[in-house]
Structure 1
Amino acid sequence: MPYDANALSRIADRLEVQDLVDRYLASLDEAAFDDAWARSVFTEGGRFEFPMGGHDGVPGMASFTAAMMGKWRRTHHVAAGHRVEVDGDRARVRGNLIATHLHPDEIPAEHFQVGDRFEGEAVRTDAGWRFTRLALEVVWTRGTPPGRVGIHND
């Protein structure tokens, strides 16, 4: 097999984009959002899409994310099956995600879990890879979603 001088560079790019996904998900569990955080994950015009809403651009991304994640006492996000396709300074990524959410109080005792597919686009910037778009698609849920705590369907 002939030596491919670009193979190592392509592997490094794929790993850096995979790391971008993992850093973003870990930051959700750490719940520390500010403009520096947003710029470490998204381009200035980056878009986040979720079935319950979305946000465009770094300005306001931290407060949008804090409001979204503030519904929970704690969260735990685990991603797998990252598929990264790099084309020069652009990349597409997709994979699977299981997110466990703990309600603000102990009732209900049951956690809310979501199985998602994620997909997005990233670009290489002077500061490293950043999302131009990241979208989550809910595949399944289990437990009581936010806003439904204490509601009984008798």
Structure 2
Amino acid sequence: METRSEDAQGLDVERIQDLLDRDAIRHIQIRYAWSLDNHRWEALKEVFLPDAVADYRGERFEGLEAIVAKCASSLEPADASQHINGCHWAQVDGDKAIAGCYFIATKYIADTPGGDTFIVGGKYIDQMVRTPDGWRIAHRLLEQTFLDGNPEVEAVSNARWAALKEEGG
């Protein structure tokens, strides 16, 4: 039989903390998507630990600066992007958690021959750590489920990024 601790009003303190933790983790996952689509790279830094690792579609990025640089190089050249997360879950164990969510990420570049959008769908699996500043991602794995749309959008995006870097941007 499971024993739960209750406060003076009979509230299940452990259950409430679990709900608060899972909600905070979900908000970190949402903040990640918001930061990407709004090009808020400083806000993105508040999602990860400084020594975090991200595995994105076969590429590994170690450290906060490498993760932010990858995201910026992928999304700054686009006319727009939209990352939609859903079906969030988390298993909290003290100050650590395994969490995840499904995502659909759309990149849009107007007037791309063959179509203006490129879509990636899949799921994120996160190893998370509670810090004094809240939950942070220690490791993010992107598991791609499908691609749709025009892959040429990626080529145009990469060419735009190279031109920006060449101009000193």
- When the two structures are superposed, what TM-score results if normalisation uses the length of structure 2? 0.78
> Are 2:25 and 1:40 equivalent residues in the alignment?
no
Distance 2:139 2:79 in 1: 27
> Are 2:48 and 1:22 equivalent residues in the alignment?
no
SS of the equivalent of 1:60 reads helix
Give the drift of 1:127.
0.8
Match of 2:144 in 1: 138
**Larger deviation, residues 13-22 vs 94-103:** 94-103
Give the drift of 1:107.
2.0
Residues 31-83 of structure 1: per-residue CA shift (max 9 Å, x gap): 121xx434301111111111152311123332222112234221011111111
User: How many matched pairs?
Assistant: 146
Q: How does 1:71-150 map to 2 (within 5 A)?
A: 71-103=77-109, 105-108=110-113, 109-145=115-151, 146-147=154-155
Aligned Cα root-mean-square deviation (Å)? 2.1
Residues 113-144 of structure 1: per-residue CA shift (max 9 Å, x gap): 11111101110001111000111111111111
Distance 1:83 1:114 in 2: 20
Contact 1:100 1:113 in 2 (8 A): yes
Change (3 A) 1:71 1:45: same
Larger Rg: 2
Distance 1:22 1:41 in 2: 10
Contact 2:32 2:44 in 1 (8 A): no
Match of 2:16 in 1: 8
Q: Which runs of 4+ in 1 moved over 6 A?
A: none
Give the drift of 1:24.
0.4
Contact 1:38 1:61 in 2 (8 A): no
Q: Which runs of 5+ in 2 are unaligned?
A: 5-10, 158-169
